[in-house]
Chains A and B, each alone.
Chain A
Amino acid sequence: MLDDLTAAREQMAFSLGFHIIFAVLGVGMPWLMLWAEWRGFRTGDGRWTALARRWSKAVAVLFAVGAVSGTVLSVEFGLLWPEFMARFGSAFGISFTLESFAFFLEAIFLALYLYGWDRLSPRAHLLCGIPVAVSGVASALFVTTANAWMNGPVGLVEGPDGELVSTEPLGPFLAPTTGPQVVHMVLAAFLCTGLAVAAVYAVAMLRDPAKRDGYHRRGFAAGAVMGLGLAVPQALVGDWASRVVAEYQPAKFAAMEGLEHTTDGAPFSIGPWEIPNLLSLLLTFDPNARITGLDVVPPADRPPVAITHLAFQVMIGIGVALIALGAYAAWAWYRDHRRGAHVTDRRGLLIAMAAAGPAPFVALLAGWIVTEVGRQPWIVYQVMRTPEALTSQTGLETYFYVTIVVYLALSVALVAILRRIAAGPHPAPDRTPETRDRHRAFSDQWH
């Protein structure tokens, strides 16, 4: 038996976790498609264009699931947390209002992109991809500002008795947490997309060595460069995020680090190990600095420590592992390139890339667990507690189970369909006369 509060929280977490997997692909995939299509135009290499077309079909299915699961979230806000929406719906209203137009433009131009391959000139088609890519990033940006505001609410206008009378409309853009969260989220979307795509081609090449051809190599390379190339920036932004959390949400920070007591010269723990003084050094550049522990907040205001700490460790572990993989892949590419070979002939690298596909998604969910669970017991940090936000309706447990069943059924079907799309007839027309002429014509008008 789940009580209503727990059921509502699990429901929120589950449906957000489901949505965000599609959302990040909706942010990243349009950029990969645009890149492939652009390369096809510039070089007349039909394999790039074929990749863009194949990807666009997968995006159509992913986008549909992303759109409906996002709608669930918007309605769930009200169904589960009506008190929260009544008080703060307008506080982050501007973020979501802008978001709705990003959705409109994304849906409209994606339709033009998907159904316009043979209706638009090549140049017009490419141009239609640009609003899709830009509005995908804008969606991620706007929605994250809303969440950042919940973590660091600003612009609260209080009446004479200290009660909340209104909020500044631009609050979500001014919150101290907005900068790092937004950048970290957008980078995470690109990391996830790139590595997922690279993993699909790595698996294909492992299963069937004949697939180490130009078409699959191009798909693999585009994804791997996008994913691995951003691993280092992502860690730097994560570091920035940690500093902001330490400053504005000390309880969350202490839970992330699993630090019970305020300590001078705090150690840094990773997995089973503990390195003395490192946490103080990392955070303040002074090995003996004092770090606030959980004991400074009353027990009723402390977030769950175990899960926040574990999730943080998982995210960092994956972040560091991806950096290492990126370094190895770059080195391997450089070696092979000089010898005239190709990195995809290395079985070990392909296996590593196949395994790295799901990793950033795990890090993504872990990161959100850090953010959301670490904020507890507040829904709006230090302004409103989560139980105060809950609906008065009961029996929320049932909703949760229905949601799980429906989403599981969708996931199974989705995987079947995507495999079907991936396994279609091999479309690698290496510069057929037809595509070449088309692309030539395009380049002529472009230059």
Chain B
Amino acid sequence: MTTSDILALLVLAGLTAYTVLGGADFGAGLWDLSRDRRQRDLVVRAMGPVWEANHVWLIFVLIALFSGFPGGFATLSRSLTGPLSIALLGIVLRGAAFAFRQYGAPHGGPPVRGTALWGRVFAVSSLITPFAFGAAAGGITTGALRADGSAGFLAPFLAPLPLIAGLLAVAACGFIAAVYLTTDADRAGEPDLVAKLRTRALASGLAAGALALLALPLLPKGFLDRLPWLAVAVSVLSGALALELMRRGQFLLARVAAAGAPAGLLTGWALALYPWVLPGEAALSPAPSATAGLIAGVLIVGLLVVIPSYVFMIRVLRAPVDRTDAVTGVG
């Protein structure tokens, strides 16, 4: 394995982590559109502590890309200007709106005027970002993008494949989020929410599967030939398994299986693409070897510190509290 392969694997690992963890946070926005106040509260409680750490995976991917593959980063920035700008807009609005809404009524009093509006902004912007990222991936796959960006701002959106990929990303986020939230509702002892979210998980899971099937015939021939079927099989089987586990009420196991579906799909897509950034147009070329080696080393050591810290955080914040108002607390 070359340094370049290792770096590419690290980028893929970051991208997978962002898809699964960040994707669950985005999908929670979909279920935040609910009129049921308890469901919205569940979303706040589930996302509040973790969304920022999950969001850092995106920064990890960006930084690993421009440090390790500066040329590839520039190519993607030029050719994906449209989807990236729209994703950014969604990221900014979603993050800020979530915090505003969460702290809009910090002392249990009436919320600041506009807090409910920020709740809506949060929900809607949570859908924009996965759609834009999905469309970006779809746009890359079509082979219609140009490395100098001359295909234009809208090119990544103007084909059936990117549009379906965008919807697929939204459905997949909704699916993971519903599975995660079901576990949380179960733990919180809210059986009617569990039932509701379970239905949503099944519906969005089936929608994601259907969209993936629709996308398959749209893949360019060259891309289809390179698709590693093992990864695709992992994705399909995990998705089916997750749905079955949800049906049986095995929520914790369903969580693990649900993560496998988008992870498998993403890995398959990335392997089919590698070593291209834009298929047939621009290939991935690493930074000078001394730099690339150092960066790969720092990334690996950093992950060895960060992952245990993350696990520690989840374990502490999942533990039961003795006081129910702990989140808003005194103060």
Contacts and interface: CB of A to CB of B under 8 A. Distances in A.
Interface of A: 50, 53-54, 56-57, 60-61, 63-65, 67-72, 74-75, 77-79, 82-83, 85-91, 93-94, 96-101, 103-105, 107-112, 114-120, 157, 165-170, 391-393, 395, 399, 402, 406, 410, 413-414, 416-417, 420-421, 424-425, 427
Per DSSP, are chain A's interface residues mostly helix, strand or loop, or mixed? helix
A136 B84 CA distance: 27
Contacts of B210: none
Nearest to A78: B77
B70 A89 contact: yes
A391 B78 CA distance: 7
A413 B96 contact: yes
A306 B9 CA distance: 49
Shortest 4 CB-CB distances between A and B: which pairs?
A: A93-B67, A78-B77, A89-B70, A53-B331
Interface string B67-95: 11011011111100100110011011111
Contacts of A417: 100, 103-104, 112
Given A53-B329, A97-B67, A116-B317, A105 B309 contact: yes
Interface in B301-317: 302, 305-306, 309-310, 312-313, 316-317
A86 B313 contact: no
Contacts of B310: 104, 108
A85 B77 contact: yes
30 contacts: A61-B103, A67-B52, A67-B55, A68-B94, A68-B96, A75-B84, A78-B62, A79-B84, A82-B77, A82-B78, A88-B70, A90-B287, A90-B295, A100-B64, A104-B53, A104-B310, A105-B306, A108-B310, A109-B313, A110-B52, A112-B312, A115-B49, A116-B317, A169-B294, A406-B92, A410-B92, A413-B118, A417-B104, A421-B106, A424-B107
A101 B302 contact: yes
B56 A100 contact: yes
Given A89-B70, A97-B302, A166-B290, A118 B322 contact: yes
A89 B99 CA distance: 32
A85 B78 contact: no
Interface stretch (B33-41, B148-156, B183-191, B260-268): B148-156
Contacts of A96: 63, 66-67
B78 A393 contact: yes
A318 B96 CA distance: 31
Nearest to B61: A100
A420 B309 contact: no
Given A169-B294, A425-B107, 12 more contacts: A53-B329, A90-B288, A96-B66, A107-B55, A112-B317, A119-B326, A169-B290, A169-B295, A392-B148, A393-B149, A410-B96, A417-B104
B317 A420 contact: no
A71 B58 contact: yes
Contacts of B306: 101, 104-105, 108
B321 A119 contact: yes
Contacts of B48: 115
Interface residues of B, number: 80
Per DSSP, are chain B's interface residues mostly helix, strand or loop, or mixed? helix
Interface of B: 48-50, 52-53, 55-56, 58-60, 62-64, 66-68, 70-71, 73-78, 81, 84-85, 88-89, 91-96, 98-100, 102-107, 109, 112-114, 118, 148-150, 153, 287-288, 290-292, 294-295, 298-299, 302, 305-306, 309-310, 312-313, 316-317, 319, 321-323, 326-327, 329-331
Contact of B68 (A90, A100, A168): A90
A64 B316 contact: no
Given A53-B331, A82-B78, A104 B95 contact: no
A100 B74 contact: no
Contacts of B66: 77-78, 85, 89-90, 93, 96
A332 B105 CA distance: 39
A427 to B, nearest CB: 5
Nearest to A83: B74
Contacts, number: 251
A110 B149 CA distance: 39
Contact of A111 (B53, B67, B150, B288): B53
Given A75-B84, A413-B100, A90 B67 contact: yes
A167 B288 contact: yes
The CB with the most chain B CB atoms within 10 A, among A63, A65, A70, A89, is that of: A89
Given A86-B70, A417-B112, A424 B56 contact: no
The CB with the most chain B CB atoms within 10 A, among A74, A88, A166, A169, is that of: A169
A105 B106 contact: no
Given A118-B322, A424-B331, A64 B95 contact: yes
B65 to A, nearest CB: 8
Given A74-B62, A117-B329, A391-B149, A64 B49 contact: no
Given A57-B106, A65-B99, A72-B88, A416 B114 contact: yes
Contact of B291 (A100, A169, A391): A169
A111 B50 contact: yes
A119 to B, nearest CB: 6
The CB with the most chain A CB atoms within 10 A, among B63, B93, B105, is that of: B63
A184 B63 CA distance: 25
A90 B150 CA distance: 25
Contacts of B74: 78, 82-83, 85-86, 89
Given A116-B316, A393-B81, A410-B92, A63 B52 contact: yes
Given A78-B66, A117-B329, A100 B302 contact: yes
A103 B56 contact: yes
A97 B295 contact: yes
Contacts of A399: 85
B309 A69 contact: no
A112 B103 contact: no
B70 A85 contact: yes
A119 B329 contact: no
Contacts of B85: 79, 399
A266 to B, nearest CB: 42
Nearest to B60: A100
Contacts of B294: 94, 169-170
B88 A75 contact: yes
A130 B310 CA distance: 16
A115 B314 CA distance: 11
Contact of B331 (A54, A83, A103, A167): A54
B47 to A, nearest CB: 11
